[in-house]
Structures are given as structure tokens and as C-alpha cells.
Amino acid sequence: MIATISNIDTNIAFAELDQRISKIWEEILDSSELIQTIINGKFNKYLYAIYMLETYHYTSHNAANQALVGIKNYQNSIYTKFCFRHAYDETGHEKMALHDLLSIGLDESKFLIPEPLPETETLIAYLYWISFNGNPLRRLGYSYWAESSYEYINPLVDKIKNTLNLNANQMTFFIAHSDIDENHAEEVKSIILRTCINPDDWKNMATTAETSLRLTGCLLDGVYREYQLFIKGESERYGFLNESFCVS
Amino acid sequence: MIATISNIDTNIAFAELDQRISKIWEEILDSSELIQTIINGKFNKYLYAIYMLETYHYTSHNAANQALVGIKNYQNSIYTKFCFRHAYDETGHEKMALHDLLSIGLDESKFLIPEPLPETETLIAYLYWISFNGNPLRRLGYSYWAESSYEYINPLVDKIKNTLNLNANQMTFFIAHSDIDENHAEEVKSIILRTCINPDDWKNMATTAETSLRLTGCLLDGVYREYQLFIKGESERYGFLNESFCVS
Amino acid sequence: MIATISNIDTNIAFAELDQRISKIWEEILDSSELIQTIINGKFNKYLYAIYMLETYHYTSHNAANQALVGIKNYQNSIYTKFCFRHAYDETGHEKMALHDLLSIGLDESKFLIPEPLPETETLIAYLYWISFNGNPLRRLGYSYWAESSYEYINPLVDKIKNTLNLNANQMTFFIAHSDIDENHAEEVKSIILRTCINPDDWKNMATTAETSLRLTGCLLDGVYREYQLFIKGESERYGFLNESFCVS
Amino acid sequence: MIATISNIDTNIAFAELDQRISKIWEEILDSSELIQTIINGKFNKYLYAIYMLETYHYTSHNAANQALVGIKNYQNSIYTKFCFRHAYDETGHEKMALHDLLSIGLDESKFLIPEPLPETETLIAYLYWISFNGNPLRRLGYSYWAESSYEYINPLVDKIKNTLNLNANQMTFFIAHSDIDENHAEEVKSIILRTCINPDDWKNMATTAETSLRLTGCLLDGVYREYQLFIKGESERYGFLNESFCVS
């Protein structure tokens, strides 16, 4: 069955969007040194900690910027209700990232979470901006790739699990979260079908999908650069990791 | 059973708050010419229309300012989730006010909703302000009286129903809404117990309850003043009502 | 010479606006118990302190909400430049209110400025709201009456000066400020002529003038009510005044 | 003479900041294909138009985000006044970018300025974010490099001038602007000396300098990528340039 909204063949539109997203994921998977380190089995708890704390940062804003879209977009009740419902669902998810680090021995009493890296802050800034300015449907582009990223991420999560010898309870951010997000992915697709009713909506939404995914790729590069500083003993932000893991 | 949080006897605290709210309601009920008109049975569809369109205005912002509290207060997940959940529930409620007017013959094709009266805009401004500034628990004061106002409002609603000869389907804003809000009133009381844990929280919340109720009283006065202009043929905003009711 | 902009006779428009403002001033001057106290010569330093600290509060937001208009209105450079220039000029003026109180013996080391009264916060909330929402020319209505209020205020200032036996250096907020604002009044009139080019602009601007002046009248009433509590020993906010004036 | 504020040797601090900025400029100058095109004399009016319209976009937000810092930072009058003054000065500067394009034959009646490129929007988003969140002194880092960038830019401006055969009146954005900014550079240095009084202020400010300069480098890359699309006839945004230059 082919749904047709305002002359957009949405099956084709989704296929094109998937292809654009897929292309950027490939670029990231190919060029990211962080991801190469995971694949090569050279990943360690320090790099994991840096990655997860930066993830903590941007995740802690996701509910807020999602709700902001609802505030901005108060004319269309269906989309507004979607925004507030998802903001509700996303609230507190960053705590899973922190939980997972504590579960591998990071001692909460020994550090304050450092300021986000510039790349993390840039992603956060962009997500608030597109949530409050321009076409309010834009943020659906971020949700669209983020809620269905498990196809790309799961092999990496498995590899991390094996390399660091973790169990599923220690990876709640990725594993429990992915179960929650399975529903979300369907809901996002469904709300896109109901709201993105003209070509301009799709173009805006797709551009935001691409840009937010690229900025997430930049975040991975930022994490890896900081890790290089860390192993040289030059990371101002993450030097504390040397003294904050419990001896096991 | 007496719950005790941080040395606040919450039973006493709620009783005092109820008393302060009750006192302001009495002042409003006594002094408001709008309410006297309802009680005297001289209420008519024009005054009802002015009141309901102003109600439409501030109600259309309630979900947004409720969500704003969640954005501002992202540290406390329990309260943030409450805010986003209630924002979800409140979304679109203003449409009930509009529905009720259309059901008594107002012809949607014959007017644009006029700009809010100064008193209405002042209430809206205040609710956004307290939602984004100062103690984020303040907005609970507004929810507290608003969700449990049916004790004061229901006799007036009955009187309007009889005077204008309406059935329940024509008063969804007050009647369906009051069923929805019954749960809310309990939820608001429960979240206050969980979050207002020091005397300053209570003081802030109670002041906001009082102020937002007084500003709602001012709104009633503004509506009545505009109605006086209307019957003299001098209302710029609501003159359209003369030509916008279907002849029945 | 009669300037004519888009069929508005601006001389007539200003005269009408002046008349509406004048009418509200008269209502305030007639009904305000605070102002009666000044006229009767029963004004004292405690009432003055409450009034000036509430004035401190809203004045401390004037530069910010003025700048907000410039941010919101970035399309029209002339008006935007006016906004940023006036925001620059208004920055820090609240310190004059504080200075004047210290000059009559209030001891800065003995108190923290209390939270604003509900009426003060309502005025602040309204000014931010109209600065960021709706027609950005609206805030000119506030500037228009505020910058030219000295005609109404000066006799009261003289009376306060005599009653409290102050010299001009102790009344910088009113006296130095009024010299600064004389230019502003002209600039405001001139920018209104350049920007308020259609009847809707004038209507919006005039409504905001009236509403912000009325809310300022409410602030005076709030100050007087708090003073009544103070003399009964029941003011939570201002009880500190009993112990914070130096013995002279 | 060496100024010393809170144990920061500011001469050393500025020298280190200059070095960090200089390093990023070198990276940009070396790697940017846009800049290579200028140096190689292969620059043309189409690439210039794309660059200037993207510049138009972010420049049109500079006054607003500068004023936002003043609103956020209302405690410190000196810095707040600096912010509002500079916002005043920056208002409307984007029009110089547009003027310069019209002066080389772009016909204003033939196009609407397209939406900003993702890289441009990311820079805009970042500048608003750092203006409203975190240490309000951060935005000085952006001003610091931007107001003193002429050392790096002037040789490129000369090259563009020769390549496109322009006179100074056709390059107001770069030439008139650089005269205005000469004072600004001094003022920025001076306000940094007065406000950045602890190491954390400097760190925050310097990080923002680096990040905003890197994001500007990304903007150059985005412009060049779009130009490549343009010459292949695939630029959705800038296809209009083919029909919008007057034949000369």
C-alpha cells in the first residue's frame, strides 16, 4: 500500500531519507577513529567513560528540547501532544548513561561531571535552535534517525559488551533504551506521516536529520580527540578518570 | 494520619492554603458583577461568549506554560515528568470553550477571535513568568486552585445551564473538563506533597495560588466591563457578536 | 504643522493618547491611599523604603525587557537601534533607587532585598510578555507614559522631599532620572512617529500604555497594603525595616 | 607594564589566546578549498554571492545574540552596557553584505534569500546558545577573534577585489566594517581585562573563541560544497544565481 499525502509518495520519501541517513552513517562508521577502536577491540573503560559522559550531556537536554517544540507549535494539537508525550518519555534517560558508568566501577563521589566538549555543546545548541526556530516539524528529523539507529549501533554495542566484559544490566542506556525506542521509531514514522504534509516539511525534516547526525559524528570525533589527550596526560576535563575508578 | 515533610505539617499547610484560596474566592464571588449577573439570572449568550472567548485565550496557553516548567526544572525528574504529562493532558482544552460557543449558534465563519483583553493578557503573562522564573514549584499553586475550583464554579455552571437552557453537551468546557480535572486535583496534591519540601516552597506556591486567582478575578471584571461596552454598542473587540449568532 | 502618517493625524492621535493616560493618572491619584498619604504629609521613611525597593525590582528589568524588543524586532533597524540604545541608557538605573534609600540611613549590611510583591511581579511579567509577543511596537506605550510621567509625579516628589526633609542628592532616582528622561520623552515621541504607521500599531501601543500604567497603579496599592501589614507588625517581607535604619 | 588580575598575567593570557586562534586560522587557511580558490585567482561572482549570502545570515543575528548576553547578565552593569552598546553598533551590518552583492549586479527583484546552509545555522545556533547559557563572558571569545580577524582576512579581501575587479565602495562589508571594528577590537580587549577576572572566565572565553572560529571554518566548507553543487547545476538553494545577475 502506498500512502499519498499532498502528492508526496511517502514510501519513496522515506526510502530516500533512509538512504541519505545510511550514507552519513557509513561516512561516520568509516572515518571515526572512535568506532575503529571499538571494532579493533582496543576500546577501554576510559574511552567508554568519556563517550558516556558526553552522551549524558546531550541526552539530558532531549526531553527539554522536545517539549520546546510542543510549546512553539501550539496550533497543531496532534503534534503538540506527540511532543509532550515524548518529552515525558525521554525525561531522565541520561541517568541510564550515568548508571552504566557507575556499574563498571566509576566512583560518583570522586568527580563532578565536566563541562561538555565543544562538539557536544554544538549538538545541544543546534537541537534547541531547530526546536524553537523555523518549521517545528524539523525536530522529527532528529527523532527519526535517533530512534532507529540501533541497526547501526547494535553491532558496536555487542563489541563493547564483549571487550569490556559487561552484562546487559551494565548497558541499560543502549539495551533497555533500545527496547523503549522500538515503539518510538514507529510513533515517529506515524507522526511524520500525519504532519509532514508538504514537500517543504519533508525537506526541512530531512535536512535536520542529516545535520544532527553529522553533528553527532563530530561528537564522536571530539570524544576521541579528548581521549588522545587523556592518554597523553593532557586532558583537563577527564584527567579525573585516572583516580575515579574503583580498583576491582 | 498526618504526613510530615521537613517539619511542615502538610495537613495544616493544606488547610491554611485552602482557607486563603477560599477567602479570595469569596471576595470574587461577592464583588464580581459578572457573577452577580449569573446569580440574578440575567446572564445571556453575549456575556457568555465574551467570557468563553477570553477563557479560550488563557486556556490555550496552559499546556505551554506547564511544559515550560518542565524545561526549566530539568533536574528533578519526578516533577519534570508531572509537568510534561499535565502539559500533554491540557493540550487542546481551549477547543472545548470554542466548541461550546459554536453549539449555541455562534457562527465560526463570521468572526476572527479578537485579541485578548488586557486582563486576560496580564494573566497569561504572569503564568509564563512564574513558569520560567524563580522557584519552579510555584506553578503548582495555580494548578492547585484551578483543578479544584469546581466547588465554587459548579453552582454557577448550573445557573448558566438553566438560564441559557443548555444541555451538558453544550458545556463540555465546564462539565467534561471537571471530570478530567478530578484526577488532576488529586495528582496536584500528591506532587505537592512530594516536591514542596521546605517552607519556602510552600510560601512561593501559596503566593502564586493567590496571585493567579486574583488575576482571574480581574479577568472576570474585564469581561464584564467589555460587556458593558458591548451593550452600549462601543465594544471594538466584540461588536461582531451582534451579527455572528445564527438566528434560531 | 500636522504630520500625517498613513492617514493617521498624529497630532490628534497623541492628544487622544495623552487624554487616556491622563484619565488613568487621575484615577490613580484619586484612589491610591499611598498617594493620599504623601499628600497628607503622613509619608514616612518606612513607606518610602517599601515603595523604593519595589521600584528597584521592576526598574532592574527595564533595560532587559527593552533589549528584548530589539531582539524580537530585528527586521526594522531604526526601531531595533532605538531599543538597544535605550536598553543601554536604562542599564543600572535601579541602583539609584537603592542609593537613595542608603542615603537616608538604610544599612545595606542588615538586609537582603525581599522578593517582589505580587503586584510588582505582575508588572514585570507583563512588560516581558509584551516585549516578546505580539506587535513589538507595543512597548513604546510603556515608554511613552513612563518617560513623561514627571508632570504627575513631580508635585509628589516635592512633597516627599519636604516631608522627609531630603535634599536633591538623596532623590537621584526621581530628580537626576527626570533630567535624563526629558530627552527620552522626545526620543520616544519621535520613534513613535517613525514606526507606528498604521492604526493597529497605535491601538496596540495605546492599550499597552494604559495597561502598564494601571498595573503600576496596582503596584502602589500593593505597596500600601504591605505597609499596613508592616505597621501592624505582620509584614514578612519588610519586617527587617524596623532594625535596618541607622539611628540618626 | 604587566596587568595582573586575580593572579592571571593577562599579557601571557592574551598571547596564549592569540596563539590558539592563530593556529586555527592556519588550519582553516590551509585546508579550506574556498580560500584556495581565492588565492588561486579562480574566485568568481557566484562563489562570492553564496559566501556573502551565508555571511548575511549569521551577521543578521549578531546584534540579537549580543543583546541577549546583556539580558542574561543583568547583574554586572559594565558588561551589560558593553553588550547593549555593541548590539546597537552591530544592528543592520548584514545589510552591507547585501549591498555589496547588489553593487556587482545581483538583481534584488529576482530572488528571495534562501534558507541558511546547515553549517551557517549551526554557527547561529551555537552563538545564541553560548549567549544565553553558561558563563555570559563566553561570547567575548567570539568578539575577540571576529573583531581582529582583519589580519587574516585582508590579504584575501585584496585578492577578491582584484579578481572580481571591485572598488572599495563595492566591498563595504569588509572595508568599511574593518574601520568600525578597529575600535571594537580595542574595546573588546579592554572589557575582557575588566570582566574576565578568574581563570575559569578565561578558559570559557577562550574555548568559545576556538569553537566559534572552527564553526566559521565549517561555514566556509559548506559554502564551497554548495558552490560545487551549483556548478554541477544541482544546488537547490542557489540555482537562482544563474538568472539573477544583470548582464553587464
Mean pLDDT of the A145-150 span: 87
Mean pLDDT over each residue of chain B, to the nearest integer: 93
Whether D211 has its CB under 8 Å from any CB of chain A: the answer is yes
C143-178 pLDDT tens trace: 999 988 888 999 999 999 999 999 999 999 998 777
Q: Which of B118, B129, B211 is closest, CB to CB, to C211?
A: B118
- Which of B20, B117, B122 to probe the C interface (max C CBs under 10 A)? B122
Whether D76 has its CB under 8 Å from any CB of chain C: the answer is no
User: Which residue from B191, B211, B175, B17 is spatially nearest to B97, judged by alpha carbons?
Assistant: B175
D147-190 pLDDT tens trace: 888 889 999 999 999 999 999 999 999 987 777 767 888 999 99
CB of D175 within 8 A of CB of D97? Answer: no
Residues in chain A, total: 248
DSSP D133: S
- For residue D237, what are the CA distances in angstroms to D32, D76, D242? 21, 43, 12
- Residues of chain C contacting B121 with CB distance shorter than 8 Å: 126, 129-130, 211
DSSP B234: -
CB of C3 within 8 A of CB of C10? Answer: yes
B122-137 pLDDT tens trace: 999 999 999 999 999 9
Residue D52, CA atoms < 13 Å, CB-side half-sphere? 27
B165-176 pLDDT tens trace: 999 999 999 987
D106 phi/psi in degrees, rounded to 5: -70, 135
CB contact under 8 A, D84 and C81: no
Angle, CA of D181, D185 and D190, to the nearest 5°: 140
Q: Could you tell me what percent of chain B has a pLDDT over 70?
A: 95
pLDDT at D150: 84
In this predicted structure, which of A175-184, B73-82, D28-37, D228-237 has the lowest mean pLDDT?
A175-184
Q: Are strands B8-9 and B4-5 parallel, antiparallel or unpaired?
A: antiparallel
Taking CA–CA distances from C129, the nearest residue in chain B reads: B125
pLDDT at A96: 95
Q: Which of B60, B71, B77 is closest, CB to CB, to A67?
A: B71
pLDDT of D202 strictly over 90: yes
B198-247 pLDDT tens trace: 999 999 999 999 999 999 999 999 999 999 999 999 999 999 999 999 86
DSSP C5: E
pLDDT bracket for residue C1 (50, 70, 90): very low
- For residue C59, what are the CA distances in angstroms to A208, C49, C92? 41, 15, 9
Taking CA–CA distances from D73, the nearest residue in chain C reads: C64
C172 phi/psi in degrees, rounded to 5: -60, -35
pLDDT at A248: 56
Residue located via cell numbers 570525533:
A221
CB contact under 8 A, D126 and A128: no
Whether B96 has its CB under 8 Å from any CB of chain A: the answer is no
From CA A36, how far away is CA C4, in angstroms rounded?
72
From CA B35, how far away is CA D116, in angstroms rounded?
54
Name chain C's partners: 3 or more CB pairs within 8 A. Answer: B, D
The shortest C-alpha distance from A57 to chain D (Å) reads: 14
Whether B23 has its CB under 8 Å from any CB of chain A: the answer is no
DSSP, residue by residue, B115-155: PPPHHHHHHHHHHHHHHHSS-GGGHHHHHHHHHTTHHHHHH
Whether A194 has its CB under 8 Å from any CB of chain B: the answer is no
CB contact under 8 A, C74 and D68: no
A153-204 pLDDT tens trace: 999 999 999 999 999 999 999 987 777 767 888 999 999 999 999 999 999 9
Q: Which of C61, C84, C95 is closest, CB to CB, to D63?
A: C84
**pTM reported for the whole predicted model:** 0.95
From CA B135, how far away is CA B73, in angstroms rounded?
9
Whether D64 has its CB under 8 Å from any CB of chain C: the answer is yes
From CA B135, how far away is CA C121, in angstroms rounded?
13
pLDDT at A183: 85
pLDDT at C246: 86
Measure CA of the first residue to CA of the last residue in chain A; give whole Å: 56
Whether B68 has its CB under 8 Å from any CB of chain A: the answer is yes
DSSP, residue by residue, C17-86: HHHHHHHHHHHHHHH-HHHHHHHTT---HHHHHHHHHHHHHHHHHHHHHHHHHHHHTTT-HHHHHHHHHH
pLDDT at A3: 46
pLDDT of B4 strictly over 80: no
Whether C18 has its CB under 8 Å from any CB of chain B: the answer is no
Report which of residues C18 and A247 the model is more confident about: C18
DSSP C164: T
Mean pLDDT over each residue of chain C, to the nearest integer: 93
pLDDT of A94 strictly over 70: yes
B32-90 pLDDT tens trace: 999 999 999 999 999 999 999 999 999 999 999 999 999 998 678 999 999 999 999 99
DSSP, residue by residue, A89-104: HHTTTHHHHHHHHHHT
Element (H, E) at B9: strand B8-9
CB of D13 within 8 A of CB of D21? Answer: no
User: Which residue from C32, C69, C44 is spatially nearest to C216, judged by alpha carbons?
Assistant: C32
pLDDT of D15 strictly over 60: yes
The shortest C-alpha distance from D182 to chain C (Å) reads: 21
The shortest C-alpha distance from A181 to chain D (Å) reads: 27
In this predicted structure, which of B150-154, C16-20, C207-211, D121-125 has the lowest mean pLDDT?
B150-154
Taking CA–CA distances from D122, the nearest residue in chain A reads: A126
Taking CA–CA distances from C134, the nearest residue in chain B reads: B115
Touching status, chains A and D (3+ beta-carbon pairs under 8 Å): yes
pLDDT at A6: 57
Sign of CA dihedral D164, D165, D170, D176: positive
Whether D135 has its CB under 8 Å from any CB of chain A: the answer is no
Q: Which of C67, C80, C85 is closest, CB to CB, to D71?
A: C67
pLDDT of D4 strictly over 50: no
pLDDT bracket for residue D93 (50, 70, 90): very high
CB of B63 within 8 A of CB of A84? Answer: yes
| DSSP bridge pairs for D9 | D4
User: Which residue from A215, C138, C197, C166 is spatially nearest to D121, judged by alpha carbons?
Assistant: A215
Mean pLDDT of the A61-66 span: 97
From CA B175, how far away is CA B152, in angstroms rounded?
14
pLDDT bracket for residue D1 (50, 70, 90): very low
Measure CA of the first residue to CA of the last residue in chain B; give whole Å: 57
pLDDT at A185: 87
User: Which residue from C139, C193, C189, C137 is spatially nearest to C5, judged by alpha carbons?
Assistant: C193
Q: Is D6 exposed, middle or buried (0-12, 13-18, 19+ CB in 10 A)?
A: exposed
Element (H, E) at B52: helix B45-72
Number of neighbouring beta carbons within 10 Å of residue D48 = 21
CB contact under 8 A, C84 and D91: yes
- Taking the CA atoms of residue A26, residue A32, residue A34 and residue A36 in that order, the dihedral angle to the nearest 10 degrees is 70
- Residues of chain D contacting C191 with CB distance shorter than 8 Å: none
CB contact under 8 A, C124 and B129: yes
- Which of A58, A72, A84 to probe the B interface (max B CBs under 10 A)? A84
pLDDT at B175: 84
pLDDT at C182: 72
pLDDT of C34 strictly over 80: yes
Whether C70 has its CB under 8 Å from any CB of chain D: the answer is yes
Taking CA–CA distances from B118, the nearest residue in chain C reads: C211
D50-65 pLDDT tens trace: 999 999 999 999 999 9
Three-state DSSP at A185 gives: helix
Name chain A's partners: 3 or more CB pairs within 8 A. Answer: B, D
Q: Which of B115, B118, B129 is closest, CB to CB, to C125?
A: B129
